[in-house]
Structure 1
């Protein structure tokens, strides 16, 4: 005797196809959103409310990890020669070199991730 097999009706098949299409669409939209978030260029700058001591500490830390030659006299980002601008450049160099992860712009809550390019004059925020 042959075992009994259930037959699938056209309505059941259509329902399964709709569910599969919905799952595929949901997956496609999720992956597309993740790609667009990671594809967007971001930069790390110093928060305007940061203290001078914190900014100096950030410059020292970042420049111990990455090449901050552009901040030296005659460098592309040497002017304006103030701590806020130099900290922003140094923090961004570090942030970019570490993969543009939000936690690489933390700097004890003195960093800010922005989607607006902060480059100015000849100083290009990579």
Structure 2
């Protein structure tokens, strides 16, 4: 079964920004930069979910790689939207 990692809706902005910074220090996060399909909506929860999922997918989809200090959530429903495809 395919799974994805997204940010928990109750996560605070500081946690989300820390998650973006951590994930993007480990891999290429150009997908959330302006002009890319996943750059909108430009809010911390959307950007964090995409970055966290990139990290989760690249590290082998283990629960540990979606923890992000208990702010990550593994989902079985594809969170892709519009032209933004979650890996």
Indicate the TM-score class for this superposition, using the shorter chain for normalisation: over 0.9
Q: Which has the higher contact order (CA 8 A, sep 6+)?
A: 2
Deviations 1:40-70 (A, max 9, x none): 1000000001110000000000001111101
1:64 and 2:25 matched? yes
TM-score (norm 2): 0.98
Deviations 1:58-98 (A, max 9, x none): 00000011111011110120000000000000000000000
Match of 1:6 in 2: none
Q: Which runs of 5+ in 1 are unaligned?
A: 1-39
Match of 2:58 in 1: 97
Match of 2:40 in 1: 79
- Number of aligned positions between the proteins: 87
Q: Where in structure 1 do 4 or more consecutive aligned residues deviate above 4 Å?
A: none
Aligned Cα root-mean-square deviation (Å):
0.4
CA separation in 2, counterparts of 1:79 and 1:66? Answer: 20
Larger helix proportion of the pair: 1
Q: Which runs of 5+ in 2 are unaligned?
A: none
Specify the SS of the correspondent of 1:109: coil
TM-score (norm 1): 0.68
Q: How does 1:4-23 map to 2 (within 5 A)?
A: none
Q: Which has the larger radius of gyration?
A: 1
